[in-house]
Amino acid sequence: MSTVSIAEASRQLSQIVNRASYGHEVVVLTSRGKPKAVVVGVETFQELLKVNQIAQTLPMPEAQFSQEFQRELSKAGYDTPEKIVTLVREVKQEMDEERQGSAK
């Protein structure tokens, strides 16, 4: 990874693009010494997109899942343990009925 000022990058844009594209180099563009943008090749960018998509499909942490699940149940009116147990029983019964119907 290298760092180049935006002013310098404007004078060497073609070289920087080639370094990113063909050399698979990551070039950080700075302004007044602070990072402002990054130049990467298309292949590197596509790989980053894939990694991001994979990260979004990973399961959430158990504590977060539990909190969100409880919140959604409550919003749907299942705000007591008894109501939740009734819901589970109803869903189980529906699944059993569907299985029996598809087995025929």
pLDDT digits over 55-71, tens only?
778 787 888 888 988 99
Helix or strand (DSSP H, E) at 97:
helix 81-103
* For residue 26, pLDDT beyond 80: yes
pTM of the model: 0.54
Chain region(s) in the chain for CATH 3.40.1620.10? 2-53
Q: What integer is the mean pLDDT of 16-34?
A: 93
Q: What integer is the mean pLDDT of 6-23?
A: 95
Nearest in space to 5 (alpha carbons), one of 26, 25, 31, 39: 31
Count, in order, helices (H) and strands (E) of the chain: 5, 3
C-beta pairs of 12-21 under 8 Å, 24+ apart in sequence: 20/44
Sequence-distant (≥ 6) Cβ neighbours of residue 84 within 8 angstroms:
73, 78
- The CATH class of 2-53 is alpha beta
Buried b (16+ CB within 10 A) or exposed e, 2-31: eebeeeebeeeeeebeebbeeeebebebbe
